[in-house]
Structures are given as C-alpha cells and as structure tokens.
Structure 1
Amino acid sequence: MENLEDVALHLQRFSWPDYALFSFMLFLCILIGLYFGFIKPHTADAESEYLVGNRSMHFFPISLSLIASFISGITLLGLPSEVYLHGIQYVYVSIGVVLMGIIMATFYLPVFYGLEITSSYEGGLKAVVWTDVVQTFSMFLALILVAVKGTIDLKEGGIGHVIDSALNTSRLELPNIDINPLVRHTLWSQVLGGVFYWVQTNAVSQNMIQRYLSLPSLRAGRKSVWLFVSGVVILMMLCSYNGLLMYATYKNCDPLSTNLAKAKDQMLPLFVMQTLGELPGLSGLFIAGVFSAALSSLSTCLNSLSAVVLEDFIKPFTDKPLTDRIINWVMRSTVVIVGISSASMVYIVEKAGTVLQLTMSLEAITNGPLFGVFTLGIFLPWINSASALTGGISGVIFMSWLSFNAQYAIASGQMEFPPKDLAADQCPYSFIPSNSTIKVSDEYIFPLYKISYMWYTLVGAIFTMLVSLLCSIFIFGFNDPSTISSELLTPFLRKTFSKENEIKNERPIKAVKDTEF
C-alpha cells in the first residue's frame, strides 16, 4: 500500500501540454490587451473609448464580461469546497441572483443610463471585455471537463451515485427555513441577504456599472442583465455539482482528514489532478480556468479604478481640461501601479485559509454602507448630503467592528462551523491519523458576532440609512425634493418628486455633483 507522501508526490505533476495550454491562454489575453491598447486606431474621444468603449458595445460580450467580473477564482475554488463540507444550502443564493436581476433592471439601470456618467460615484474597456470573453469560455470549459471526467471515473453509477451519496449525508437537502439570523445558511439569509449583496455588487459597483454603460441603450442593458444572471446561475450549479461529485469520490477517504489536502480550498485542485492529471493538457486547462476567473475580476477592478481615479480624484482638482495624452497616461499608470500592488498582496491572502466566507464578510465593510448611500440618493431624495455622508462613515465604522470581531472569533476557534459527515476509514494509502478534534469554546461570544455573514451587506445598508435619517431629523434637516433633478431618482418616483422648473440643456453630471447623495 502506498503511503501519503507517495500519493502527494505522484499528484504533483504538470506535463508540457499543461504548461502549453496555460501559457497560450495568458498569451492570448496579453495579445488582446496589446491590440486594443496600442495597435487598434483610436477615436478622437480617447477617454470615452478607454472607459466605456464609446458606448457602442454589444450586449453579448458585455454579458460574458459581467460573468467573468462577478465569478472570481474564490468562487471557483471556494464554492465546491463549501458544498463538499456543508451541503448545498449556500446554493439557494441563486434565487437571490435572479431577484437581483429584476431589481437591477427595474430600479437602478434607468438612473445610470439617464445620467450617462462614467464613474458611478460621480478603463481600455474594450480590451478588458474581449479578454473577459476568452476567460469566461475558459471557466465554463474547465468546470464542464471536471464534471464530465469526474462522473465518468465513478465506479458506482455516475450521476445517480453522486445524488445518492449527497442525499444519504444531507448534502442535497431542502432549504433551511429557520428564521434565526445567527444560523450560518438559511433560505432567508441566502435569498434576502443574498439579493442585497448581489444588488450592491451590480447596482453601485463601478466594476459592473462601467460595463452596463458601455451599451448603447437601456434595452441592451436589460438584455445583458438577464444573460448575465443566467450565466452566473449555470456557473454556480456547475460548481455545486463538482462539490457533490468530490464527496461521492472521497466519501470513504476524506483528503482533509488524511492531510492530503492541507486546506479546504485545495480540495478542487486535488480532485482535478486526480481526475484530469492522466490526460495531458487538461490540468493546464483547469488552471487556466482558475487564472481566468482571477484575472478577469482583477482586470475589471483595475480598469474601473482608473475611471474612479480620473473622474473623482483628478478632474475635480484641475483648472484646465486634461489633454488626451494626460488622460491616457493617468489611466494606464493607475492600472500598472495598482496591478503591481495587488499582485504583491498574494503573500497575505495565502495565510487567510478558506476565503469564500472571509471575502464576503470583509467586502461588506464598504459594500453595505455604499449600497445604503446610493439607495438613499435614488429612493429618498429628501436626505441631504451631510446626513448621507455621516451615515456612510458610521456604517463603515460599525461594519468594520462587526466583521473584524467575527473573523477574529472564527480564526481563534471561538466559533466553529462543523462539516457534515466525513470519513477516512477506507483509504487506498496509509497515513498517520490526526489527533485534532473540534473544540467547543466556553467563552462568551457577543451575539451580534454570530450573525450570518450573508446578512452583512443588508445590515450595513440599514445601519447607514438609519443613521442618515436620524441625522436629517435631528441635526442637518431635509432637502426640498422639488429641487432635485428627476434624473437622479428611480423611474417610479420621478413623477412624484420631479423638479418643476427643470433647467434645459443642463449636463446631467452637474446634477450628480450638486446633489451627490
């Protein structure tokens, strides 16, 4: 019988076809960037072309770019591990994704299309979009290959065995309808908490809004929303199936128990090497898919950040209009500097352990308050900027306190989330059993720290809006809604709070800056 070290060494193989496929994907993405950045002739309006593609993009590539921006390497690695350990409760968040599409298309997109702005707070976008198209296809292909090959390799009945194994251990189960907000995953936290998380990610995130605004019309934007929602749901289903497939494969020999996998997020790469490793090139294709997910999210952030830096940190402080040469230099320099800084952070992230819950928890520190501020501006025009700013800052402070303390409780072992049944009694290799056991801490944990991380964005938004409302009532007073440009409000409120004497030919961006919140 082989020992654990021999098995681990055998799995650490990468053939030249793997390196070739992986390198080809990276080289193709570089070529796309070079073509749109330095070879393709540019229009006179360099800023518009770089940031929003001259608002002439087609909805199909934009939808794929949205999917690539939305699905990160964290999702591709973290979601299968989540399903492997805890079952499919997390997957019910896909209902929230569908509801997000309805809310986004109905209430938020019309406002941004009416304003025709570049920064949602008031990059080459075409290169990023077409790179995302390549990377999205790579992600789908990698997940499908893992699912098909892994199912074929099962010796006990294919898909039927996957389902039976999941049912027998309650990994495949109906949603938990417990209304307790302290339970990690319930139907309510996944749907209600999830819909606010995803609406924030789409409706007030510069990464996503910049893509929607590159489309020529609101109708094209709505088409893009629904194609995007469909793609995300399909990807989540593929990731979830791969998680169940992993359990069907390892149900009698859990790699985490034997220490073949050192961390939870190594489960899918281990599974890939065992199922695809014998076929030259396929392991490289999977790694290319994971890199695609990571790079697509990173390229989206870099391009969007260049828009924010230009529109919100440089233009307001310049007396003269910037030349195209300076604009191009600023945007490209921002991408290079932030890109290098982001790459250097990998040494910190690798120490973070499981990253799916950690990422969503820390994102909520700014996402919740930001969503609250934008919602105030679009739905509650009588809240003034001073109140909204106070609420936003208070929300960031509150969510920082909540998120960091909750993560500390998890990291220190005060809070545990035990997995469903795992076994390692029929392993085909020898290993030294671990003596570690799950310790139940007797320390008192403040109840708010126990709240499900899926509620964080909603909690941050509500806290921000509540503080803003109280500030308007007791300190700063209210705006007169009749003085607010109707373009700043969601469509169903425009007739109620429309400005009676709208100034003709006023640039919408001026309205945004005068009534920023």
Structure 2
Amino acid sequence: MDPSDQRLFTVVDYVIFALLLAASVGIGLYHALSGGRQRTTQEFLMADRSMHCIPVSLSLIASFQSAVAIIGVPAEIYTHGTQYWFIGCAYILGLFIPAHVFIPVLYRLRLSSAYQYLELRFSKAVRICGTLTFIFQMVIYMGICVYTPAFALNAVTGFELWGAVLAMGLVCTLYTALGGLKAVIWTDVFQTVVMFVGQLAVIVVGIQETGGVSEVWRKVREGNRISGLDLNPDPTERHTFWTLGVGGVFLMLSLYGVNQTQVQRYLSSRTEKEAVRSCYMVFPSLQLALALSCVMGLVMFARYCGEDYSDKLGTSSKDAMVIYFVMDMLQGLPGLPGLFVACLFSAALSTISSAFNSLATVTLEDLIKPHFPAMTEAKATLLSKGLAVSYGLMCLAMAYLTHLMGDSVLQVALKIFGMVGGPNLGLFCLGMFFPWANSTGALAGLGAGLTVAFWVGIGSIVTRSSGAKALPPSCRASNLTETIQTVLSNSTLSKPSGLERFYSLSYMWYSAFSCLTVVITGLVISFLTGPMKEEDVTPGTVYPLFGNLLFFLPEHLKRKLCCVTSLRPTPTVQQRQQSQHKHINGSAVPQEDEPSQAETDTFLPDTHTAMVERETAL
C-alpha cells in the first residue's frame, strides 16, 4: 500500500506527541514557579549565570540541530550523495576558535547581549546596526523552523497545516515566556534526547526493511552515493571539500562565535571554564547528529534508489521524500510515527525557543534600555516576557513565506546564515583582531558586506544558478561507458560567465565572502578616515591575534603595529578584585575561578564603566 494513501497516527502516537508538548510546557512552569520565579532580567534572560557545562552544551547542539537539519540533510544525501558529510571537518576549527577567542573576550566583559561589545569597541550606532541585522536573520529563520515540522505532521496525520504551525508556535512561546532561559536550556536537553532517539528509530527500522547493513551498503555504493574527496577549488561548485571544510568554518563561526542565541548560553555559564568546556562538549554531539542524518539519507537511497515520490505528498520539494520515507518505514508500528514527529517538533521547539529568548534579550538590552536607563527591574522583566511573546507571534507570520521558497530547507537556511550572519561575523572580527578599525570603517564594512551578500544571494535565487543536478537514480553499478558519458556530458555543459558566474557562487562561501568584505572594507575606510589610536580602544575588547602571531618581534615593534597583548597597563590585584565583582547593572557577581593567565594580560572593566569612560572621552 502506498504510504501516502493512509494516515499513520494511532492513539499511541497522539499520546507520545502530546507528552512532548506537555513536558516542554511543564518544564517552563517549573522554572516559572521555582528559584527566583523569573522576577529579574538576569534570571529570565541569563539564567542567573548559574548553568553547568552539560545542559549548556546540549542546548547549544539543540539550537543548531533544528528540524531543518533533520529533514534537509537526509534529503541532501539522498539526492547528491555524501559530499555534504565533509562539513564535519569544519566543526573542528568552528568550535576551537570560539572556545579560545570569542568566549574569553565576551565572557570577561560580563555582557548580556553580544552586541554590547560593538558599542564598547566602536560606537552605539554600530551596536544598533549589529542588533538589527541579527533580528532580521533570526525572524526569517524562525519561519523555516516552524513550517518544516508542521508540514511533516500534516503529511503523516492529515492535521491541518496551519493549525500545526499555530500549536507549535503557541506552546513554544508559552514555556519561553514562563520559564526564561533556564526553561529553554532544560527543554533543549529533553528535546535533544528525543531528537536522537527518533532518528535512530527510523534508521534501525529502515535498515531492517531494506535487507540489512550489507544490502544498504551495496546499493549506495553501486548507486554512486558514496562521495570521494573532491578537491576542486572552483568556488562555484556547490559542495567540495573546500566549500564545506573551509567555507563551513566561517559558517560555524557566525553561529557559535557571535550569534546571540549561542553566545547567550556561554554567558549563562557559572564560570568561563564552564563556558569553554561546554563549547568543546558540543563537538561529539554535532558529529553524532550529522552522522545520523547522513546515514538516514543513505538508508533512504537504498530503499528507493533515488526515485522521487514527493509529488504524492502534494509538493515538488525534495525534502518531502524524508517524510515519505518515514511514513513508509513506520506504518504498522504504533508509536514510532509519533516518536519521529515528536523528534521533528523537538528540534523545532528547541531552535525557536532559543531564538525567542535571544531576540527578547537583544531588543531589551540594545534597543530599549539605553533609552530608558531608569527602568525598574520588575518592568524590564515584564517587558522581556512580552517581547518573547511578540516574537513568537511574528514567527507564525514568517512561516507562511517559507513554502514559497523553491530551494531545499537546508539550502535556504544556510543561505540566510551566510547572507546575514557572515557580515555580523565580519563586524566582530574587525573589532577583535584589528585595533586600527574605527566606527566609520565598521559601519561602512557592515553596509558593504550586507549589500554584496544580498546581491549574490538574491541573484542566485532569481537566476536559480546555485543549485546542483541530482545524481542519476539508480541502484545498479554503472559500467565504464556510462561513467565516461556522464563525465563528458558534465564537461560539455556551458560554464556561466560574468554576473552569472558571480551568482553561481556556492552558498557555503556566503559567510566567508561577506565576512571578508566587511573586514577589508572596514580597514580601508578606517585608514582613510584615521585609524583608531591605542589609547582610544576600550580595554579588553581586542584579542591579541597579531601579537601572538608575531611573537618573534621585539615588544616596541609590536607596539608600533598595535599588536600588543595588553592595551593598558596591568592593574593591581586590588583593582582586579574590584572589577571582577562588578556587573553591568552594578550588582556584585563574585567569580568562583581564579583568573587565568590570559586574564592577567588584559584589564577587563565591567561594561557599564567602560561605556561611561568612552562617552566621557568622546
């Protein structure tokens, strides 16, 4: 029987699915009624800076591993082979650099919003521009995250599509607004477990139904779905080792280095060591999530040999094949369809709840509080909850636009991160690594980066030049003649030229391309308008990248190049102890760990004091 002709949900499935939603709301209620009961912005938005590394690390993986990845990656592997798996190589530097560069700088400044850094380093205008860029990015991405599992629920159960969107958005908004960041992190922990179990169940059943591991391997190998190491340096090739392994590093840095959703989790950690440790603990979880998604795509291919049945679900999107596969594998197995849909919803809930909380944080800290400095803590907390609810309703409207996009959800999501996240990454890199960069250069660089990123991104959508042809659907081994014919046909395809070639840039390079545009433009404008002087740079906002790379130079030469490891004289012990007990709102926050060697190299005052000093100097 065609799986698309029947609805698979039984009473058991509905119970499993309902338990997921109830558990998520229950965690929110628990944290709303326990502890400080979310009465302060520090508790609601920053979890009182009391989280340990294990829940933070699981929350970091849940925020990234959305329903987009669970649906999009298997569809990518099914259609184009395992080349995408090489993005796992980018996870190494993509997590190592944030752990040792971005986290130390941002954590020691005792920030609530990552974009407060931009005001400390540059100016208030740069901070506002960075915040607005992040808000734009996350609002669009939330629409994709909400729509994807709702479509799956509609396909599997016949449940009204927009009813599913509304239910998920309201549940997520409810527990986020009730329990704050603590609820978001602990629901992420629960939902991460559900994600892994749901994917694993589908894979195990799929392998059994296909004839075992050896049969799956035979079919995917004969169907040319096992990709080799493609070292083609052409940046217009959609997926090669360079686009995934190098371009992917910039994508990971924009996510795990400067994105408020992830940075907020680092800043909620008890200590800097806990924050760094949580970043390291994300690596094996990310690799496991990537492996499960890729294996699922291979099992799909072994089952259908690349044939496209998405039209039976009323859509032309390749992503629908994953839903069709789940319906086919799990029919007649009560509970498993509900488990997989719960898996999708868990991934989506964890992502959008993180987005709601981070959006509420940056809106309050960056756009509202600076204009109302006398706002009471009670009003600020109530306002932050209202902002979380408002963004929840906004994401429901964005979900409507998602089904109008022609690309796969994975490609659309990564394009968004590259087009918007890349320029934001460039802004932070410009500030942290280049002491000469000034506010004018930062604004000009961000404008140039966004312009170029949207130019190439929109151009690729209009010309449809960024896609790649699917591999031929076949489970049988191709002979030498067929292989030669395929190579010759591919080589005779007309190569794009001019603007078409520009629009053909692989979407995996978007982050790197826009980031470098921001840095280069920012440095040029900074030198033309007068580079920043050492004494004007807020202490603690520059990472001594060049000082470390040029360690062999004498100290006076490094100082001339503004590559010193310390922008101000090292303070006394008494000054350090006083600064460590300061907080952005003036309250005492004692540090449990002794300062590391890196901390003794740079004097890091609290955010409020640094801002006052900067404004006084100006």
TM-score by length of 2: 0.75
Q: CA deviation at 1:81?
A: 0.3
Deviation at 1:304, TM superposition (A): 0.6
Query: 1:107: Cα distance to partner?
Result: 1.2
Displacement of 1:481 after TM fit? 2.2
Of the three residues 523, 526, 533, the one matched with 1:469 is 523
Of 527, 543, 548, 1:490 maps to 543
Q: For 1:85 and 1:44, how far apart are their aligned partners in 2? A: 47
Are 1:420 and 2:471 counterparts? yes
Partner residue of 2:4 out of 8, 21, 31: 8
Structure 2 counterpart of 1:328? 381
Kindly indicate whether residue 216 of structure 2 is the aligned counterpart of residue 173 of structure 1. no
Matched, 1:111 2:105: yes
Displacement after TM superposition at 1:486 (Å): 3.5
Q: Distance in 1 between matches of 2:435 and 2:319?
A: 45
Partner in structure 2 of residue 182 of structure 1: 236
**Does the CA-based 8 Å contact 1:482-1:500 persist in structure 2?**
no
Instruction: Give the one of 277, 286, 291 matched to 1:237.
Output: 291
Aligned partner of 1:150 in structure 2 is: 206
Question: Residue 377 in 1 paired to residue 431 in 2?
Answer: yes
Going from structure 1 to structure 2, the CA distance change for 1:312 and 1:248 (only over 3 Å counts) comes to same
Q: 1:21, 1:285 within 8 Å by CA — same for their partners in 2?
A: yes
What is the Cα deviation at residue 424 of structure 1? Answer: 10
Q: Supply the distance in 1 between the matched residues of 2:614 and 2:249 (Cα, whole angstroms).
A: 27
Distance change >3 Å, CA 488–CA 258, structure 1 → 2: same
Is 2:494 the partner of 1:499?
no
User: For 1:171-199, what per-residue CA distance to the aligned partner results, in whole angstroms no more than 9, with x for missing partners?
Assistant: 11222100111111110110110011001
Measured against aligned partners, the alpha-carbon deviations of 1:21-51 in whole angstroms (never above 9, x if no partner) come to 11110111011112212x1141797111111
Question: Which residue of structure 2 lines up, in the alignment, with residue 511 of structure 1?
Answer: 610
> Residue 31 of structure 1 is aligned with which of 26, 37, 42?
26
- 1:453-464 aligned at under 5 Å gives the runs 453-464=507-518
User: Residue 481 of structure 1: which of 524, 534, 539 is its match?
Assistant: 534
| Aligned match for 2:80, one of 76, 82, 86 | 86
Structure 1 position 319, deviation (Å)? 4.2
* TM alignment of 1:262-411, pairs within 5 A: 262-320=316-374, 322-353=375-406, 354-410=408-464
Pairs aligned (count): 490
Partner of 1:195: 249
The answer to whether the aligner puts 1:18 opposite 2:27 as a matched pair is: no
How many Å separate the matches in 2 of 1:215 and 1:198?
21
Mean alpha-carbon deviation: is it higher for 26-35 or for 345-354? Answer: 345-354
CA distance 1:359–1:296, change in 2 (3 Å):
same
**Alignment equivalent of 1:51, drawn from 45, 56, 80:** 45
Q: Please list every run of 5 or more consecutive structure 1 residues that lacks an aligned counterpart in the other structure.
A: 426-437
TM-superposed deviation, 1:246: 0.2
Cα displacement (A) at 1:244 = 0.3
Contact kept? 1:55, 1:214, Cα under 8 Å:
yes
CA distance in 2, matches of 1:182, 1:338: 36
Amino acid at match of 1:458: A
Q: Which amino acid aligns with 2:192?
A: T
Give me the whole-angstrom Cα distance separating, in 2, the residues matched to 1:64 and 1:442: 44
Note the 1:224-263 alignment, pairs <5 A.
224-251=278-305, 253-256=307-310, 262-263=316-317
Query: C-alpha separation between the residues in 1 aligned to 2:106 and 2:536?
Result: 19
Q: Quick one: which of 87, 95, 111 aligns to 2:89?
A: 95
CA contact (8 A) 2:95 2:256 kept: no
Counterpart amino acid of residue 348 in structure 2 = A
Q: Distance in 1 between matches of 2:355 and 2:313?
A: 35
SS in 2 for 1:284: helix
Instruction: Return the letter of the residue paired with 2:446.
Output: G
Task: Specify whether residues 361 and 206 from structure 1 end up closer, same or farther in structure 2 by C-alpha distance, changes over 3 A only.
Answer: same
Counterpart CA distance in 2 for 1:91 and 1:200 is: 20
The alpha-carbon deviation at position 483 of structure 1 amounts to 3.5
Superposition map of 1:420-439 within 5 A: 420-423=471-474
Q: Which residue of 2 aligns with 1:430?
A: none
Q: Does 1:60 align with 2:54?
A: yes
Post-superposition CA distance 1:147-186 (Å, at most 9, x none): 111111113xx11222222222221122210011111111
Q: 1:314 to 1:16 in 2, by over 3 A?
A: same
Give the whole-Å Cα distance in 2 for the aligned partners of 1:243 and 1:263.
15
Q: Which letter does structure 1 place at the counterpart of 2:503?
A: Y
Residues 3 and 331, structure 2, Cα contact 8 Å, conserved in 1: no
Residues 77, 386 of structure 1: alpha-carbon distance in 2 compared, 3 angstrom cutoff: same
Shift of 1:515: 6.9
Question: Would you say the 8 A contact 2:223–2:473 is kept in 1?
Answer: no
Is 1:126 paired with 2:182?
Answer: yes
CA contact 1:255–1:261 (8 Å) conserved in 2: no
2:214 is matched with which residue? Answer: 160
Write the letter of the residue equivalent to 2:186. W
Q: Which amino acid aligns with 2:88?
A: S
Task: Mark the CA change 1:215 to 1:41 in structure 2 (over 3 Å): closer, same or farther.
Answer: closer
Code of the residue aligned with 1:24 in structure 2: it is: L
Measured against aligned partners, the alpha-carbon deviations of 1:334-385 in whole angstroms (never above 9, x if no partner) come to 1111101101222211222421112211222221111011001111111011
CA deviation vs aligned residue, 1:490-513 (integer Å, no higher than 9, x gap): 255585342238695452344368
| In structure 2, C-alpha distance between the alignment counterparts of 1:270 and 1:226, rounded to whole Å | 36
Kindly state the Cα deviation for residue 65 of structure 1 after the two structures are TM-superposed.
0.6
Q: Is the 8 A contact 1:91 1:236 kept in 2?
A: yes
- Percent identical among aligned pairs is 32
What is the Cα deviation at residue 91 of structure 1?
1.1
Give the alignment's TM-score, normalised by structure 1.
Answer: 0.89
CA distance in 2, matches of 1:335, 1:373: 26
Paired residues of 1:254 and 1:423 also in contact (CA < 8 A): no
In 2, Cα distance between the equivalents of 1:515 and 1:267? Answer: 56
Residue 171 of structure 1 aligns to which amino acid in structure 2? R
Taking the aligned partners of 1:397 and 1:325, their CA distance within structure 2 comes to 40
CA distance in 1, matches of 2:534, 2:323: 55
3-state SS, counterpart of residue 341 of structure 1: helix
Indicate how the Cα distance of structure 1 residues 177 and 349 shifts in structure 2: closer, same or farther if over 3 A, else same. same
Structure 2 CA distance, aligned partners of 1:108 and 1:447? 34
Q: Verify: 1:139 aligned to 2:195, yes or no.
A: yes
| Counterpart for residue 503 of structure 2 | 449
Larger displacement relative to structure 2 (120-129 or 481-490): 481-490
Residue 125 of structure 1 deviates from its aligned partner by: 0.7
Question: Once the 2 structures are TM-superposed, how far is the Cα of residue 7 of structure 1 from its aligned partner?
Answer: 4.8
Are the equivalent residues in 2 in contact too, given 1:166–1:244 (CA < 8 A)?
yes
Instruction: Give 5+ residue unaligned stretches, structure 2.
Output: 117-175, 477-489, 548-562, 580-604
CA distance in 2, matches of 1:318, 1:237: 48
Cα RMSD, aligned residues only = 2.5
**Change over 3 Å in CA distance of 1:95–1:40 after alignment to 2:** same
Change (3 A) 1:453 1:496: same
